Each structure stands twice: as C-alpha cells, then as structure tokens.
A and B are shown apart, each in its own frame.
Chain A
Amino acid sequence: MGIIKVTVIDREGQPHELDAPTDMNMNMMELCKSYELPVEGTCGGMAMCASCHMYLESDTDLPEKSDAEEDMLDQAFFVKSNSRLGCQIHLADSMDGMVVRLAEVGS
C-alpha cells in the first residue's frame, strides 16, 4: 500500500488526517513532527524521554508495549490504559484508519 491514513487529535481537540508512509521506516512521533504537530520527541525515538506520549483512540491492533516503553511511561504524566509512546508505534499498513490523541504535557 505505501500510504495509510492516520488521524492525530491535537491538544486543542482538533483532528488532523495525515498521509502516513509505511515504507519509510517511520514511527508516529516522527510522522507528527513531519507535519509540525506539537510532539517533542526529545530523545529522538529511543523510548527514553516520554515526550511523545499519546493515546490510542481507535481499536487498531498494535504490537504489545515493550518493557522499555512501559518503563518510560512511568516518567510520563496523565498515563492511561491506552497510553503509548509515539516513537514505539512503527507505521505499518495494518494501521490504516488509526486514531491517536496527543497527551497533555507536564511542566
């Protein structure tokens, strides 16, 4: 397929439907940054900073969280059962129609 549709809801509640390439080895953090959505991605995608915290709002089947991702979520705030780190969601064709919401950032 190559390109899927992903919706990102920003912190003001505004949805953004994005074209997401699945053949560029990209993750959700990078996709948001490429569209200049307000995601920090401080550590660059190593699951080491929790600044790309987002919620999975659709019933898209994602791979389980790794220990590293779960551990890093310990340093995030407003963590819920559907919390994920965007950098650990590697875009794949099966994610077409996925909806995520950007989490609030702490101070």
Chain B
Amino acid sequence: MIETDILIIGAGPCGLFTVFEAGLLKLRCHLIDALPQAGGQCTEIYPKKPIYDIPAYPEILAGDLVENLMKQAEPFKPGFTLGERAETIEKTDDDKFIVTTNRGTQHIAPVIAIAGGLGCFEPRKPPVANLADYEDRGVEYIIKDPNFYKGKNVVISGGGDSALDWTIFLAEGVANHVTLIHRRNSFRGHLDSVQKVMDMAASGKIRLVTDAEVVDITGEGKVEGIVVDHEKEGKINIACDHWVPLFGLSPKLGPISDWGLSITKNAIDVDTFDYSTNVPGIYAIGDINNYPGKLKLILCGFHEATLMVQSAFKRIYPDKNYVLKYTTVNGVEGF
C-alpha cells in the first residue's frame, strides 16, 4: 500500500503545483493519473500550444509549463501511479482514505485532493447501437498487444496517426488482412504514413474504404463482420474478426462521480474557503471543481491548490500552528 499525506487524483498542472505548495508545509504527495504521463490536458491535447495567461510568462508552451512544474515539484519527491485510473475510495477507522485504481494499486492518505481536470481520458466510442454487446468480443478501442491480431482479419476505423500506424503495422505480416475505413479521402496523419497506407492500398496489401463509416456490427456473440455505409455505394458488408475504432480520447468524469461528492454539471461543488468538498478530507481543485464565479483557468487552479494545502495541513496536524513562510526568505527545502 502506497502511503502519503496528500493523495492527488490527476497529475495535470494543478496537481503538480499542489506538490510544491504541500512540500513547503512538509507534506508529502503522491499522484494518480489515468494517462501514462504527467501533465494532463497540457501534455495530452496541446503540448505545442502557447499559453499567454500564466503570470510572469508572456508566452509559454503547455508542454514547457508541465516540464517546469515537474522541476518545481522535484525537491519534494512526489510519487506517481500513472496509467491507472482512481476507481474506488473507502474510509478507514482512523479517518484516512484508501483509494484503489483499476489495476488494484492501493493508496492510503488522510487527505485526498481531486485535481482531475475534465476527468479521465477514455477512448471515444462510435455511436453504433450494438457496440457494447461486442466490447472485448472483437471490438477493441486500444491496441495493447499487436500479436493478439496474429492471423486475424482486422478492420480499423479512423483517420489519425494511430489508425494509420496500426494499419501499417498489422498489415506487415501480423494480421491476415487489414481494412482501413475513414470518413473522407484525406488523412490527418504524418505524410509518410499517409503515403505508405495509400501505397499499400494500391498494391492490394490492405483494403482502404474512404467516404464511409461503420454503422453496424454483425456476429453471434462475437464480431464476425461489420456493415459500412458508403457515401456512394451504400451499405457494404465486410467480414472480420476484429473492429478497432480509433477516434482519439475524450475526458469523462468517470468513477469519481460515485464517490458521494456533491456534483453540479460534471463538476465537484466546493467551499471557496479551502476548496473542500462535502466529504471532510476530500478537496477538489482546478477545472474539476465548481463554485460561484468559477473560471477554468490554470492560474486559478494554482491559487486553489495553495489555499487547499493550508486546510489539509490543519486536518493532518490539528494541534500544530503554522505561519506562512516566504520562499524568498527560506528557500525551498526539499525532502
């Protein structure tokens, strides 16, 4: 069991800055994030986009902001559980919380700070009516182990790099046959992968169906084929063992919505005194919280994190007095 003072759910900018502010109060932090790397949206969605409203940075790339926050947090040696989603929470007899991830990793802490941003990033699922019936029965949203597709007939949907790259990879001697389906005839992936896919289609190594989308799945208890709606040719049946729709990720509030927290419009209600939720010991900061006048800005998240750790300190050490110290006077004393 991983033990810490403040367990932070979400390793985006707000969660990372919490490590620094908590560290100044000698509180240790551990972060859980569903994504395989820290940085949240900044890293996952727009690492190369400039941000202009971080105080004292006229312009900074989102990716660089995360890198700097990691550097700033470094003296306080945060722990990370990455690529795992915080799933369940339970209260212990001594007023602590045990948070377990979808992979069974357990964490215990007296304070939980939910800095989950928009939620956890999950694969976007196409609106095919019987989709759920075939999940893990031939429909996969992520390719974990390419060998799983050895000798199989695979249909991939999507127009981005992952769709192109997996099409190329699986067609090179892994799968028996690969079909790529895309809604239009141009692709947004890297030019060389696009060219490669076009060449493979021309030489008959793969089947490329553009201006089309999958509208139905067929098969008894598992995927045996899909039905494609083609702009000109209408419905086309394609026999296959697997359908892999690759439409990117979108954030979902996820299991946190079952944690007994008061939620308004997908955001957790907090008291702006210390960003505490309706459950004592659980705080919510950054884009995931809701209060009158809320603005979803990174800079507001930093402020919330700073006030939140003061309250967390009082919860962890009710008998200790704390005086605000300035880093200019005291420097940063790491662990």
Contacts and interface: CB of A to CB of B under 8 A. Distances in A.
- Majority SS at the chain A contact face: loop
Contact of A107 (B118, B127, B160, B182): B127
B127 A106 contact: yes
B287 to A, nearest CB: 10
B159 interface: yes
A12 B261 CA distance: 29
Contacts of B184: 70, 74
Interface string A64-75: 000100110111
A44 B127 CA distance: 24
- Majority SS at the chain B contact face: loop
Contacts, number: 50
B126 A106 contact: yes
- Interface size class, chain A: 10 to 19
Interface of B: 41, 45-46, 49, 118, 124-127, 158-160, 182-184, 186, 188, 213, 247-248, 250-251, 296
Contacts of B296: 44
B236 to A, nearest CB: 18
Contacts of A35: none
A74 B163 CA distance: 11
B45 A71 contact: no
B158 A77 contact: no
Contact of A43 (B46, B160, B247): B46
Q: Which of A42, A46, A104 has the most CB of B within 10 A?
A: A42
Given A43-B46, A48-B45, A49-B45, A79 B183 contact: yes
A106 B252 CA distance: 12
Given A67-B188, A75-B248, A104 B127 contact: yes
A106 B124 contact: yes
B124 A75 contact: yes
A46 B186 CA distance: 21
B126 A77 contact: yes
B46 A74 contact: no
A106 B182 CA distance: 17
Given A104-B127, A107-B127, A75 B45 contact: no
B269 to A, nearest CB: 17
Nearest to B131: A107
Contact of A75 (B49, B118, B160, B251): B160
Nearest to B182: A74
Contacts of B118: 42
A73 B41 CA distance: 19
Given A42-B118, A79-B183, 6 more contacts: A67-B188, A74-B183, A77-B126, A77-B247, A106-B125, A106-B126
Given A74-B183, A79-B183, A46 B127 contact: no
A20 B292 CA distance: 24
Nearest to A107: B125
B155 to A, nearest CB: 16
